[in-house]
Amino acid sequence: MKLAGRLMSRRIMGKASFAELQDAQGRIQIYLNRDEICPGEDKTLYNDVFKKLSDIGDFIGIEGYVFRTQVGEISVHVTSFTFLSKSIRPLPIVKRDEAGNVYDGFNDPEQRYRMRYVDLVVNPQVRETFRMRSKLVQTMREHFNQLGCLEVETPILQPLYGGAAARPFKTHHNALDMTLYLRIANELYLKRLIVGGFDGVYEFSKDFRNEGMSRFHNPEFTQVELYVAYKDYQWMMDMTEELLEKVAINLHGTPEVQVGEHTISFQRPFARFTMYGAIQHFTGHDISEMDEAALRNLCKELKVETDNSMGRAKLIDEIFGTHCEPKLIQPTFITDYPVEMSPLAKKHRDNPHLVERFELICNGKEVANSFSELNDPLDQRARFEEQLTMGLRGDEEAMMLDEDFLRALEFGMPPTAGIGIGIDRLAMIMTNQPSIQEVLFFPHIRPEKEG
């Protein structure tokens, strides 16, 4: 057999040596014997090239046959040896004993993130995390394709940013001498495609938000957004359950996933609460009839911080975020949000003060956000105008009015269900990682100083 890979350890015993070769699949032990590799008088290849010039980290190629050593380890008996490529920097050596204890680990997060290539070479569990992330995305893509949806690409550079509440990154196009924004979401473009006649579209999209960083936030992050015509948010909830159950089973062979100290089950069906129901459940207060002033008082009582730019919707969001969200560990749908919080969602069929919207909360964090999409152009215009008012009042995240998007709606959009799923957050849960940096190959980090 022939193999190529990176030399990860060497045990030289005179004329015989053992070493470990690592490739993308894993590691295997190889056995080299001087007189077999160098059958003639010239022993340079073994004595100099292998013993003296090779270092851990170098790439070599071998031919040989598989055998079992005296101690019982499956190894490759090398019959020919080729030096392929040199590592001129010392690779951190991570050693493991038989019990699996790690010695001299390459653990410093700063170094691991700055030199992810080294992290990946040396820490197999890191490679495994990223394989799982890839499989997660693959499973989702297959699922959407099976639904008959079309994978599409929409602009990252946008003249107007929209589709979410966030501060954008701003850039400048020289030839057109105009401001462009990096997208914070792709919602409004995907809906234009539904107007254009596609029944289902989705896009895995890098979005950019110019906000704080934490172990849950990176300035650029990945979302998948999916829009399906002639469906509503109830359908989307069922789809989401099915999807996530499938993802968990594909990754772990079971719908149960260990996340930190919790075992999270993605077995259908997930728990469901209305927004008001959840707040009543966790705080004991029925806020469904409260106006802004009453809510403000309640916030004070519940020790929820507020400021004057916050309207009724934001106040409710704060109460939920403080008192409900952190307690929701198992996947839970929160439905029926107040209309002011959701300028792109369709009004609830039974209650004009609510919208047909759900968020999926899991491990205390939002993982998905979905609604029956607002397709009434007159209502949409009114909602945008309300956002402008919020903006004037100091809400930096209020949405901008997008005339072209309104024009698209005026041509008619079928009833549509849409969802955005945070891939990084979901990957954190599905791979049991405590921080977003662990599921991004190259998380944002301040540049190193010169020298």
Partner RNA sequence: GAUUCGAUAGCUCAGCUGGUAGAGCAUAACACUUUUAAUGUUAGGGUCCUGGGUUCGAGCCCCAGUCGAAUCACCA
Residues 62 to 81 in contact with RNA, rule: CB under 7 A: 67, 69-73, 75, 77
Q: Does 40 bind RNA (CB under 7 A)?
A: no
Burial class (CB in 10 A: 0-12, 13-18, 19+), 300: exposed
> Does residue 217 interact with RNA by CB under 7 A?
yes
Helix (H) or strand (E) holding 145: helix 124-146
CA distances 319 to 64, 97, 279, 282, 425, Å, are 66, 50, 8, 10, 22
**Min separation Cβ 271 and RNA, Å:** 18
Q: Is residue 390 a contact point for RNA (CB under 7 A)?
A: no
* Residue among 408 and 430 whose Cβ is closer to RNA: 430
Helix 312-323 to helix 275-283 angle, to the nearest 10 degrees? Answer: 50
Residue 235 interacts with RNA (CB under 7 A): yes or no: no
Range 140-179, binding RNA (CB under 7 A): 164-166
- Pairwise CA distance, residues 226 & 250, whole Å: 21
Does 366 engage in binding with RNA (CB under 7 A)?
yes
Confirm or reject binding of residue 358 to RNA (CB under 7 A).
Answer: no
Tell me: does residue 44 bind RNA (CB under 7 A): no
Closest to 13 measured CA to CA, from 50, 65, 40 = 50
Q: Which amino acid, 434?
A: P
Distance from C-alpha of 202 to C-alpha of 143, rounded to nearest angstrom = 11
Q: Which residue has the tokens 């254009």?
A: 196
Which of these segments, 48-56, 246-254, 289-297, 350-358, binds RNA (CB under 7 A)?
48-56
- Establish if 445 lies at the interface with RNA (CB under 7 A): yes
Tokens 């295997």, residue located: 28
- Judged by CB under 7 A, the chain residues 244 through 283 that form the site for RNA are none
Segment interacting with RNA, rule: CB under 7 A, options 95-103, 151-159, 196-204, 275-283: 95-103
| Tokens at 434, concatenated | 């405590």
> How many residues line the site for RNA (CB under 7 A)?
77
How far, in Å, CA of 339 to CA of 337, rounded?
Answer: 6
Give the nearest distance from C-beta 70 to RNA in angstroms: 3
What number of CA atoms fall less than 13 Å from residue 143's CA on the CB side? 18
Torsion angles phi and psi, residue 405, rounded to 5 = -65, -40
Per the CB < 8 A criterion, the answer to whether 226 and 185 are in contact is: no
Name the one range near RNA by CB under 7 A: 98-106, 231-239, 245-253, 332-340. Answer: 98-106
Stretch that binds RNA, among 3-11, 172-180, 186-194, 260-268 (CB under 7 A): 3-11
Q: What amino acid is encoded at 367 in this protein?
A: V
**For RNA, which stretch binds (CB under 7 A), given 146-154, 193-201, 281-289, 421-429?**
421-429
* Residue 436 interacting with RNA (CB under 7 A): yes
Please identify, using beta-carbon distances, which residue of 25 and 101 lies nearer to RNA: 101
Is residue 296 a contact point for RNA (CB under 7 A)?
no
- How far apart are the C-alpha atoms of 359 and 237, rounded to whole Å? 9
Among 133, 209, 312, 346, binds RNA (CB under 7 A): 209
218 part of the interface to RNA, by CB under 7 A: yes
What are the distances in angstroms from CA 372 to CA 127, 312, 316, 355, 367? Answer: 38, 22, 21, 8, 17
- The stretch near RNA (CB under 7 A) out of 90-98, 145-153, 283-291, 330-338 is 90-98
Residue 16 touches RNA, criterion: CB under 7 A: yes
User: Backbone dihedral region of 354: left (phi > 0), alpha (psi from -120 to 50 degrees) or beta?
Assistant: beta
303 contributes a contact to RNA by CB under 7 A:
no
- Choosing from 103, 174, 284, 352, the residue that interacts with RNA (CB under 7 A) is 103
Per CB under 7 A, the segment of 109-117, 142-150, 272-280, 329-337 that binds RNA is 109-117
State how far Cα 300 lies from the chain centre: 35
Q: Does 83 bind RNA (CB under 7 A)?
A: no
Q: Which two tokens stand for residue 179?
A: 């401001």
- Considering only 142, 151, 211, 410, the residue that binds RNA (CB under 7 A) is 211
Q: How many CB atoms lie within 10 A of CB 69?
A: 12
Please list, in sequence order, all residues whose beta carbon lies within 8 angstroms of the beta carbon of residue 429, skipping any fewer than 6 positions away: 257, 259, 264, 362, 363, 367
400 lies in the binding site for RNA (CB under 7 A): no
Which residue's entry shows tokens 């990946």?
120
* Part in contact with RNA (CB under 7 A); list of ranges 51-59, 131-139, 226-234, 381-389: 51-59
Q: Which of residues 316-335 bind RNA (CB under 7 A)?
A: 318, 322
Nearer to RNA, 411 or 441 (CB): 441
